[in-house]
Amino acid sequence: MQNLNIGFIGGGNMAEALIAGLTAAGHAPECVWVTDISKERLDALQAQYGVGVCADIAEVLSASDVVVLAVKPQQIDGVLQKFGELGAEKTVISIAAGISAKHIALTLGNDAAVVRVMPNTPCLVGEGMSVLYSQAGKIHCERAEYVLAASGQTAWVEDEQQMHAVTAVSGSGPAYFFLLAELMQAAGQSLGLSRELSEKLVGQTALGAARMLTESGKSAELLRQQVTSPGGTTQAALEAMFEGHLPDAVRSAIAAAAKRSRELG
């Protein structure tokens, strides 16, 4: 796969995260192609990663076996209209939130091999969570898995409707943790810690908790119980969170995100 030609339409944040992951994982940069409206953006990507830049969408399509649609959802239809006849050999990966694989396949023609992906921003640091859905053949699914696995973990869903829940949990999820971090940092400062120290305490605590969650094999509930001594400080904090209806707030927040995803789709 390391010499597969992979083209990106749109060279923004998510495209850069995926390019960084691929090149760091040993994918030949001369087999990565990018086009973007901004020439400065293309120059910057070429200078940093050694990738090839293309003047337009047609050039990316002719250079690539795999084409990643990495523009904003509202720009997808305009991009697809420039595709022309594509054929069944090329893999089209869309990371656009809310745009169904069926919509893309119908626009491109019935034999188009489309893989829909919901990544998240931790792809930028190689710790992304990307969820994939496709009805295309095995080779196309393997190619998409290869592209996304370079920037973090992957999982597949068989029912595209589940992409709404995925968007609400992992797509938007980093923002929930960032909000909690903001609130914890501010609370630390209000108790007299310096901003610098409070940020360090919260960042490292988040990293440590995330590693325990993903590496210990224990559930979040068990890990929580294990750090909560009866009558201790953690129990006092958690009781205050339950009294403040945190579980209800999280449930309705994630339901609201899934509802918004359905509306956008």
Ligand X SMILES: NC(=O)c1ccc[n+]([C@@H]2O[C@H](COP(=O)([O-])OP(=O)(O)OC[C@H]3O[C@@H](n4cnc5c(N)ncnc54)[C@H](OP(=O)(O)O)[C@@H]3O)[C@@H](O)[C@H]2O)c1
The answer to whether residue 10 forms part of the interface with ligand X (CB under 6 A) is yes
Tell me how far apart the alpha carbons of residues 129 and 168 are, in angstroms, rounded to a whole number: 13
The answer to whether residue 96 forms part of the interface with ligand X (CB under 6 A) is yes
3-state DSSP assignment of residue 46: helix
Minimum separation from the CB atom of position 208 to ligand X (A): 24
Which stretch, 46-54, 114-122, 222-230, 241-249, contacts ligand X (CB under 6 A)?
114-122
The answer to whether residue 12 forms part of the interface with ligand X (CB under 6 A) is yes
Out of 2, 24, 30, 38, which residue is the one contacting ligand X (CB under 6 A)? 38
Out of 6, 80, 95, 113, which residue is the one contacting ligand X (CB under 6 A)? 95
Tell me how far apart the alpha carbons of residues 195 and 1 are, in angstroms, rounded to a whole number: 46
Out of 27, 41, 103, 164, which residue is the one contacting ligand X (CB under 6 A)? 41
Out of 97, 115, 168, 258, which residue is the one contacting ligand X (CB under 6 A)? 97
Which H or E run contains 180? helix 173-190
Please say whether the beta carbons of 33 and 52 come within 8 A.
Answer: yes
Tell me how far apart the alpha carbons of residues 32 and 143 are, in angstroms, rounded to a whole number: 14
The answer to whether residue 37 forms part of the interface with ligand X (CB under 6 A) is yes
Tell me how far apart the alpha carbons of residues 202 and 188 are, in angstroms, rounded to a whole number: 9
> From the CB of residue 158, how many other CB atoms can be counted at a distance below 10 Å?
8
Q: Position of tokens 């509306």?
A: 263
Which residue's Cβ has the minimum distance to ligand X? 12
Out of 5, 64, 91, 121, which residue is the one contacting ligand X (CB under 6 A)? 121
Please say whether the beta carbons of 90 and 139 come within 8 A.
Answer: no
Map the footprint of ligand X across residues 191-210, applying CB under 6 A: none
User: Which residues lie near ligand X (CB under 6 A)?
Assistant: 9-15, 35-38, 41, 57, 70-73, 75, 78-79, 95-97, 118-121, 171
